[in-house]
Amino acid sequence: MVNRVALVTGCGKRDGMGRAIATTLAASGAAVVVTDRQPAGVPNRRQEVLGITDEGWRGVDSLTDEITAAGGQAISVLGDVAAEADARRIVAAAAAWQGRLDILVNVAAAPQGLDRTDIEQVPVELFDLQIAVAVRGTFLMSRFAVPHMRASRWGRIINISSMAGVVAAPWSTAYSAAKAGVLGLTRALSADVAPWGITVNAIAPGMVATSRAILSMDPDIDYDAEIKARGSSLAVGRSGYPEDIAATVAYLASDGSAFMTGQTLQLDGGGRAAPFVARPPSALPPGEGEPCRRGQLRRFALITWAACCGPRGCWPPAGTPRPGRSAPASCAPPKTRRSARSSRSSRTWACAR
């Protein structure tokens, strides 16, 4: 990627994907422009409520220091990708730096928080914010970057969506809509700019170990244990890490990916191979659903908590086929059928495998 200039949004947080993507592209030889709305990133609700700060991390300034100390080239620009004037200014600054702009990686997303709830409780302004940063932000940054790429008849636009934009995720109406919007934009733009040698692709990560991964307001939560537990339910047996996403961005940004455009790469550790989408017991009507007990948890794409069986049936519904199993999954109340695992508690219903 020598002689390429890359612009990466959403780079402020130490543990975020933006940082990993920027350092990976820089290590591949690209000169990198890193940007965020605030130097150290916009705090999500957990960080805000619990007052979590990252001592010693100066955000995009630390990141540019890190890249230059490793022999790379980087500058930082601040701005709101959802604001037209800011997006125009960020792209112009990136293109003016070395007289070109070859790669745009749209990573920025609105901080998550009170939008992650049942639709009746989602503040309408938080729906607007999710759409503004993900969809409008990706549109604006791409709109201003495309002329520079057309001028050089080469370009790479890589949009970070989410598995929540591909399959249902519980309590994610705003986020899922925003991330699905990014996928539509990706496909449409890819067709329009392909004749200029510009490719446009999206990545849909499953759960990745960043500050965004933990929604809980519990101040004592053991982050590492939580990440490990969730990862263990995936086919690959671990959570995703920002470096996993960065490696795929590096491929999509390379010359070698020229024949791929308009695609969504699902980086979910195999989670989608298990076709069930679970929901928390508290999201079910009263009286429906018992929490799955240890040993009953199945593999789920995005989350590990699950509702199991209740008076009106089970989730996933009895009879739903599971991949790689000859017998369909089925659930039965304890009086008629009970697994050995559940015999300890009369409140535990059995989900046969």
> Which stretches of the chain bind ligand NAD, using CB under 6 A?
9-10, 12-13, 16-18, 36-38, 41-42, 80-82, 107-111, 133, 160, 162, 205, 207-208, 210-213
CB 306, min distance to ligand NAD, A: 18
- Closest to 6 in 3D by CA, of 139, 111, 149: 149
CB 52, min distance to ligand NAD, A: 12
Of 82 and 146, which CB lies nearer to ligand NAD in the complex structure? 82
42-46 own/partner pairs: CB under 8 Å, 24+ apart: 42/12, 42/110, 42/111, 43/111, 44/111, 44/112, 44/113, 44/211, 44/212, 45/111, 45/112, 45/113, 45/114, 45/215, 45/217, 46/113, 46/211, 46/214, 46/215, 46/216, 46/217
Measured between alpha carbons, how far is 239 from 233 in angstroms, rounded to an integer? 9
Taking CB atoms, the residue at the shortest distance from ligand NAD is 16
CB 63, min distance to ligand NAD, A: 11
Six-digit token string for 164: 């929540």
Measured between alpha carbons, how far is 235 from 248 in angstroms, rounded to an integer? 19
Of 17 and 149, which CB lies nearer to ligand NAD in the complex structure? 17
Q: Would you say the C-alpha torsion 146, 147, 150, 155 has a positive or negative sign?
A: negative
Q: Is 175 labeled as catalytic in the residue annotation?
A: yes
The one catalytic residue among 175, 223, 241, 251:
175
| Residue 310 bridge partners (DSSP) | 313
| Amino acid letter, 243 | E
Measured between alpha carbons, how far is 20 from 244 in angstroms, rounded to an integer? 9
Three-state secondary-structure class, residue 140: helix
Of 37 and 293, which CB lies nearer to ligand NAD in the complex structure? 37
Of 15 and 102, which CB lies nearer to ligand NAD in the complex structure? 15
Of 162 and 201, which CB lies nearer to ligand NAD in the complex structure? 162
CB 43, min distance to ligand NAD, A: 8
Measured between alpha carbons, how far is 153 from 102 in angstroms, rounded to an integer? 9
CB 291, min distance to ligand NAD, A: 23
Which residues have a catalytic role annotated? 175
